[in-house]
Amino acid sequence: MMAKQTAVGAEAVAAKGWFKAHKWLILRRVSQLSLLALFVVSPYLVDRLERETWLVKGNLASSVTLDVLPLTDPHVLLQAVLAGVEPHRDAIIGVILVIAFYLLVGGRVYCSWVCPVNMVTDAAAWLRRKLGISTPSQLPRVTRYWMLGLTLVLPLVTGSIVWELVNPVSMLFRGIVFGLGMAWVLVLGVFLFDLLVSRDGWCGRLCPVGAFYSLLGSRSQLRVVAANREACDDCMDCYAVCPESRIIKPVLKGAETGVGPVILSSNCTNCGRCIDVCAVDVFQFGSRNAIDQVKTTSVTGAGARQRTGA
């Protein structure tokens, strides 16, 4: 691998301007922060300004928007059901709505557009790049699915939602809305783990919430598409910023192997950072059906030849 002359994303900034080179990142931060802000501000509106209706109340585990719209987190509700709970009607409606949303836009959109820990781990990844820390990770990326299994087995065995006692994801969001307590220690732990121990260690290898959402969105419509992959100039910036960097290469370099240009991996968080950071605009958001058009062309081309050849 060649040593990089310029900072990651510098070429994109030079080519597209700062705002275009940070467009999706800014939108994601706006999404994450405004979600938090809504939950934080609502009680003040009710208390201080004596508004009748709540904008939103609750937290990501379960919330009610404008006193009518229930939304419930499927992972935590599943744990409760495994612990022996019969959820109330509103919770079931809320879960169906959430599942439908993520089935459409991609499960791990939760990770990059909603989850507050994402800001922490993104910060760790950024600092890691700045400081040039490159500790090899011993943690396989499948560990998260084992963790997911664990979060589902524990309520079965103990009858208690054990994972929520330590889950940094729910704890940080709830903490900001209701009071943090010592939860900042856990969040700091996640930050340091990602910074010093393992690249993308929490989100990419351990977090069972992300694992759950990745399974949820494995057939989702909205995908990142390397539509313009012939233009790739191998600057490697997308690999550097992608929290799931392994998923890019097969697609980006798929023209030779017959892989379509759509990133189908359920681990893609649809964060759009690769779109931002690419100076030649290889990537864009698109539908998974984009695969049909391109796959047919490429499979009949080089890919089909290679398969028959093997």
* Rounded Cα–Cα distance for residues 163 and 206 (Å): 13
Measured CA angle at 241 (ends 236, 242), to 5 deg = 95
Helices (H) and strands (E) in the chain, counts: 18, 5
* Rounded Cα–Cα distance for residues 216 and 107 (Å): 5
155 binds other proteins (CB under 8 A): yes
Distance of alpha carbon 301 from its chain centroid, rounded? 33
244 binds other proteins (CB under 8 A): no
* Rounded Cα–Cα distance for residues 308 and 19 (Å): 46
Q: Where are the beta strands (DSSP E) in 91-185?
A: none
Q: Which range in 17-25, 100-108, 165-173, 236-244 contacts other proteins by CB under 8 A?
A: 165-173
Number of Cβ within 10 Å of residue 222's Cβ equals 16
Matching residue, tokens 């922490």: 120
Q: Which range in 10-18, 20-28, 157-165, 278-286 contacts other proteins by CB under 8 A?
A: 157-165
Least distance between other proteins and beta carbon 67 (Å) = 10
94 binds other proteins (CB under 8 A): yes
Contact predicate 264/223, CB 8 Å: yes
Q: Which range in 4-12, 146-154, 252-260, 273-281 contacts other proteins by CB under 8 A?
A: 146-154
72 binds other proteins (CB under 8 A): yes
* Rounded Cα–Cα distance for residues 4 and 250 (Å): 22
3 binds other proteins (CB under 8 A): no
Q: Which is nearer to other proteins, 25 or 80 (CB)?
A: 80
153 binds other proteins (CB under 8 A): yes
Least distance between other proteins and beta carbon 55 (Å) = 11
Least distance between other proteins and beta carbon 153 (Å) = 7
242 binds other proteins (CB under 8 A): no
189 binds other proteins (CB under 8 A): no
- Residue 35: which residues within 8 A CB-CB, separation 6 or more? 114
Q: Which range in 153-161, 217-225, 235-243, 245-253 contacts other proteins by CB under 8 A?
A: 153-161
Measured CA angle at 108 (ends 9, 275), to 5 deg = 25
77 binds other proteins (CB under 8 A): yes
175 binds other proteins (CB under 8 A): yes
* Rounded Cα–Cα distance for residues 204 and 111 (Å): 10
From 25, 186, 275, 282, residue interacting with other proteins (rule: CB under 8 A): 186
Contact predicate 6/237, CB 8 Å: no
Residue numbers at the binding site for other proteins (CB under 8 A): 43, 54, 57-59, 61-64, 70, 72-73, 76-77, 79-80, 83-88, 90-91, 94, 139-140, 142-143, 146-147, 149-150, 153-155, 157-166, 170-171, 174-175, 177-183, 185-186, 310
